[in-house]
Amino acid sequence: MSTPHNSAGKEDIAKNVLMPGDPLRAKFIAENFLENPRLVNEVRGMYAYTGEYKGKPVSVMASGMGMPSMGIYSYELFSFYDVENIIRIGTAGAISEKLHLRDIVFALASCTASSYADQYGLPCRPAAAASYSLLKKADAAAEALGKKPYVGTVLCTDTFYNDTGNLADWQKMGVLATEMESAALYYNAARTGKNALCICTISDCPLTGEECSAEERQNTFNDMVRIALESCV
């Protein structure tokens, strides 16, 4: 089994997959958290590794940035590699005033203006929501690790640089943070009958100007990785 975007064999990908956006973050996770990791894909520089965590096979594969890229890779994993669970582990920008750098957010739901769901031909845009089974496991894992994530709605946008300047308006709807991949992941999981969850660490606060460095984004944020891995065992 291979696709135009993934040269791995079907047997090379585990049923549980962690998906950071950055290929170098995938490499960092594999080398620092998995036992016996092996590189199973490097097509287009989208590294995928499979190893073991506490004796259970786990894969980590980059998704790239944005819904189109996440849409391709997660769809192929669900549909052609029989992956059951995908947990996105990435960064997000804080919208809620109660969030600070390095806080962890579980995306219970994802609101978006993207046309991604138009492909389903429905009379309205379906809800993009996390799988309760994964959310429940992640919540238990966070508690066991002594972490207190925020759980709620995120905004999934097609634009990183937004000229409208209306980010603060989403506070009125209780939206916690903004990122760029969760909605496509949740739609693909729903469409294929699989499970998905988005766990993000706050890397910047657009409304205050605070932000983490590129190196910190790539090589730290380990708490969300541990939570995601514990959710796979």
Rounded CA-CA distance 195/77 in Å is 12
Contacts of 72 (CB under 8 A, 6+ apart): 5
DSSP 125: P
Rounded CA-CA distance 17/19 in Å is 6
Instruction: Could you list the beta-strand ranges (E) of the chain.
Output: 16-19, 35-41, 48-53, 56-61, 85-94, 104-111, 128-129, 150-156, 177-179, 195-205, 210-211
- From the list 12, 103, 204, 223, the catalytic residue is 204
Smallest CA-to-CA distance from 207 within 176, 173, 185 is with 176
- Coil vs helix vs strand at 179: strand
- Coil vs helix vs strand at 204: strand
Rounded CA-CA distance 138/149 in Å is 10
Identify the H or E element spanning 218: helix 214-219
* Catalytic-residue membership of 22: no
Q: Which residues are catalytic?
A: 204
